[in-house]
Each structure stands twice: as C-alpha cells, then as structure tokens.
Amino acid sequence: MRKGDWLIAGLLGLVVVAAIGKGIYDTYNPIEDKGIPFYSSASEEVQHKGADLYRDIGCRDCHTIWGIKNIMETVPAPSLDGIGSLRTEAWLYDYFSSENPQTIIPTRLKAKYGMPSYASLPESERRLLAQYFAGMKVQDWYLQEVKASEYKKLTGNPYPKQEK
C-alpha cells in the first residue's frame, strides 16, 4: 500500500470506530423518549383474570387496549387505554351493572354499536371487570394527549388550553 492509501484506510477506520462508538454510547434523553405510557396498578391476579374475562366476553371485539387494535377493526369503539385514570372502580362497577349503559354514557355511534349491558354477569365478574379496568392507568402526559385527541374527534375543534 502506498502512503496515501494508508491515510485513507486510517481515516475510514476512524470514521467506523466513531460511528460504532456513537451507537453504543449514545446518551438517553428522557425528554425525547417519554417511555411507555401504559401501566396497571391492579394486582397480578386481577390483571390475568381480568384479561381473560375481557377476552371471553368479547370486549376486544370492539375496543382497543394497551395500543393493541380491536378484532373488528370496523367498529370505532373508544380505546380503553387509561380508563382507570379517568373512571373510578365504583363508577365502572355501576356502569357494568347497568341494565342500559346508554343512560350513563349515550353512544355516539350507530345504535347497533352501543355498549351492551353486563348486568346479567355474576357480581364477582362485574367486580373483577371494574377492578381490572380501574387498574389501567396511563402517564399524565399521555392522558392529556388522549383527552385532546378525543375532544378534537368529537367536536372538530382543538382541545381548550388547561389552566395550570
């Protein structure tokens, strides 16, 4: 190799080492990456049994949860991400116990897509659903994004600025 070739090879090697070093030692910036917004405050048992019941009674046919799409993607039912950050366990139990959930939250969809009543479920299963959903929390920053998105979807207007 000639002297000029060694220089080019050396510079190329230096660039490769620098690129690898940057990839390995890149610093984490929590402002750029807020992390996963979803978490559960429910016990492990409630999480497992609740997820089984959620699947068994068909909630996932219409609703999305933890960012996972619903099975019937044509049904625009609300996402349940962070429902526990919006509703209490008592409220959810009353909702699942209602003979007509539309009296509590009227559907904004076609009647055939309205929330079905789960009043006929055993009390223990309604309580489990309430505990399961009440435990589904989201980080505050994500909750604000969800509220703004839902507000815009419903009204067509930007979400009003919140006083701090």
Q: How far apart are the first and last CA of the chain?
A: 68
Q: Where residue 52 sits, what CATH number does that domain have?
A: 2.60.40.420
Note whether residue 120 is domain-resident.
Answer: yes
* Dihedral in degrees, nearest 10, Cα atoms 135, 140, 35, 30: -150
Give the pair of three-digit tokens for residue 116: 């079905």
The answer to the question of residue 162 being in a domain is no
Please tell me whether the overall predicted TM-score, pTM, comes out greater than 0.85 for this model: no
User: Where in the sequence is the domain holding 74, given as residue range(s)?
Assistant: 38-155
- Asked whether residue 33 is domain-assigned, the answer is no
Given a cut of 50, is residue 78 above it in pLDDT?
Answer: yes
Report the domain count for the chain. Answer: 1
Residues 136-149: tens digit of each pLDDT: 888 888 778 877 87
From 94, 87, 75, 76, select the one nearest 135 (Cα to Cα).
87
DSSP designation for 138? E
Convert the pLDDT of each residue in 87-127 to its tens digit.
Answer: 999 999 999 999 998 888 877 666 777 788 999 999 999 99
Within 13 A of 93's CA, how many CA atoms are on the CB side? 11
